């Protein structure tokens, strides 16, 4: 008989359930296989929920976060929450677009974005429609939606993006 050693932690639990799954396939048949598959799926889902519930990100001052380059040339961002810190959230960040700078027309196949204008002025183009941006303006785009943004007067935006399910 095979002995399974169980230790704490997600990796050990996953190994344990996978071992039971294989043993069930070999010795007990399809009904046991389905029971173990269901139990493994429940364990995985609860682990993700626990991980999300146990994490916290606290940024006491915005200027305590270092700027880093964005995926658009010449534009930097301060990322407060990075991809992987919370399920589905790609990032929560702040960018300042200097007067005359522009984020070229682009789209994302599997990501939503929401932008809120904190200060400055600019414009956004979404699906060939141009709109003025000023403090208090907000726009959101769904995956596959072409959009661009340009700054007239040092445009500061706070934005977050999340993965399409």
**pTM score of the predicted model:** 0.64
pLDDT 10s digits, 134-158? 999 999 999 999 999 999 999 999 9
Residue 164's CB is within 10 A of a number of other CB atoms, namely 12
Report pLDDT for 102: 93
**pLDDT confidence band for 95 (50 / 70 / 90):** very high
Strands (E), 107-146: 111-126, 129-133, 138-141
pLDDT 10s digits, 8-45? 454 555 555 445 444 454 454 544 444 444 444 544 55
Report pLDDT for 33: 42
**pLDDT confidence band for 52 (50 / 70 / 90):** low
Alpha-carbon distance of 137 to 133, in angstroms, equals 6
Mean pLDDT across the stretch 57-69? 81
pLDDT 10s digits, 102-111? 999 999 999 9
The yes-or-no verdict on residue 98 having pLDDT over 80 is yes
User: Please, what sign has the CA dihedral across residues 34, 38, 39, 44?
Assistant: positive
Report pLDDT for 11: 52
């Amino acid at each position: 008989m095979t002995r399974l050693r169980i230790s704490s932690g997600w990796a050990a639990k996953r190994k344990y359930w996978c071992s039971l799954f294989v043993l069930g396939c070999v010795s007990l048949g399809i009904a046991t296989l389905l029971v173990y598959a269901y139990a493994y799926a429940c364990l995985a889902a609860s682990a993700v929920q626990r991980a999300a519930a146990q994490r916290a990100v606290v940024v006491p001052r915005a200027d305590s976060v270092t700027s880093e380059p964005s995926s658009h040339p010449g534009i930097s961002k301060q990322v407060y929450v990075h991809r992987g810190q919370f399920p589905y959230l790609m990032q929560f960040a702040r960018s300042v677009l200097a007067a005359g700078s522009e984020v070229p027309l682009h789209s994302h196949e599997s990501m939503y974005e929401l932008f809120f204008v904190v200060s400055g002025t600019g414009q956004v183009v979404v699906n060939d429609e141009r709109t003025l941006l000023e403090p208090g303006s907000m726009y959101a785009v769904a995956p596959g939606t072409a959009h661009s943004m340009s700054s007239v007067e040092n445009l500061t935006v706070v934005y977050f993006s999340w993965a399409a399910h």
